Amino acid sequence: GAVVSQHPSWVICKSGTSVKIECRSLDFQATTMFWYRQFPKQSLMLMATSNEGSKATYEQGVEKDKFLINHASLTLSTLTVTSAHPEDSSFYICSARDPDVGSGANVLTFGAGSRLTVL
């Protein structure tokens, strides 16, 4: 089946630095990827929709200047947390539409997630 890979799986950084998280679709092309954020013991909240070759679409309340998304190729989307602060510490999960499922419905394949800890 479709596989989505995320890197790094865990990153610790100092406050004020920027961190980049990569999301790759393996063996399939993903024109659209989704970035979710998950706080401990909470559900997933959609942050933004990443579109290959165009600007990302951010959900209400998500700072686009804080969370930069670049979808430069059909297999790679990156999320950069700029000037990270402790409140940005979270679990970030990306996903892409499973190409093995027919069109008309959105079945997502998720990456394993990236845990960001900001000191």
State the amino acid at position 103 in one-letter form.
S
| Planar angle of CA 5, 32, 91, nearest 5 degrees | 45
Minimum distance from residue 101 beta carbon to other proteins (Å): 8
Cβ proximity of 106 and 31 under 8 Å = no
| Footprint of other proteins on 41-60 (CB under 8 A) | 41-46, 49
2 vs 68, beta carbon nearer other proteins: 2
CA–CA distance, 32 with 76 (Å, rounded to integer): 10
Please report whether residue 72 would count as binding other proteins according to CB under 8 A: no
Cβ proximity of 25 and 2 under 8 Å = yes
Residues in the interface with other proteins (CB under 8 A) total 27
| Footprint of other proteins on 79-118 (CB under 8 A) | 91, 93, 95, 97-98, 104-113, 115
Per the structure block, which two tokens stand in for 111? 């990456």
Binding site for other proteins (CB under 8 A): 4, 6, 32, 34, 41-46, 49, 91, 93, 95, 97-98, 104-113, 115
